[in-house]
Amino acid sequence: MENAGMWRQLALVVLAIGFVSGCVRINDDLGQVFRYKHPKIEARKKVMRSIAGSLKNIKIATEAGGGVGPMRKIKWAAQDIAKNARKIRGAFGHKTMSGVTTATSKVWDNWSGFTQTAGNLAASAEILAMAADGGDMSGVKNGIKTVGANCGKCHKAFRVKKK
């Protein structure tokens, strides 16, 4: 009799764990269905959008030629990208999927790969900033390519594919 009670308790615990993990999954789906704007997800998207804004400004400044003014703009914007790239780790630190997101759970399943890619972005943005600081237009153009490639690498590995 003692034993039967123990097994029953164990079965209840197993059921409870199953129920809770089921709810978490349902929660994620509901968040998507109701297009819930989760504050943590919105915060990480904001980091991304500001990185994208900087890259856009860099491209615009490049079209303006290799003068001192545009080069200075490129340098500052590249430094902003580096600064924001170093925020990626913190912004994605907590696994949050319950809301409108294009991130996949691979971000957290392969956290070291993800943070390494973020580190690569920061490093490439620093190199771009240095090229701009030296007024080196071909260095700037190469730098933009590397930065852009780092965006693409991460999105390809850790984001839902575009339909």
88 binds ligand HEC (CB under 6 A): yes
Residue number with CB closer to ligand HEC (71 or 144): 144
Q: Distance between CA 89 and CA 115 in Å, rounded?
A: 6
Query: Considering only CA atoms, which of 117, 130, 120 is closest in space to residue 157?
Result: 117
158 binds ligand HEC (CB under 6 A): yes
102 binds ligand HEC (CB under 6 A): yes
Name every residue whose Cβ is closer than 8 Å to that of residue 160 and which is 6 or more positions away in sequence. 102, 103, 104
Q: Distance between CA 21 and CA 9 in Å, rounded?
A: 19
75 binds ligand HEC (CB under 6 A): no
| DSSP codes of every residue in 61-78 | HHHT-S-HHHHHHHHHHH
52 binds ligand HEC (CB under 6 A): yes
114 binds ligand HEC (CB under 6 A): yes
Whether the Cβ atoms of residue 128 and residue 143 lie closer than 8 Å to each other:
yes
Q: Helix, strand, coil proportions of the chain in percent (round to 5)?
A: 80, 0, 20
Q: Candidates 31, 44, 61, 140: give the one binding ligand HEC (CB under 6 A).
A: 44
Minimum separation from the CB atom of position 139 to ligand HEC (A): 17
Minimum separation from the CB atom of position 56 to ligand HEC (A): 8
Number of residues interacting with ligand HEC: please give it, by CB under 6 A. 25
**Interface contacts to ligand HEC, rule CB under 6 A:** 41, 44-45, 48-49, 51-52, 55, 81, 88, 101-103, 107, 114, 117-118, 121, 147, 150-151, 154-155, 158-159
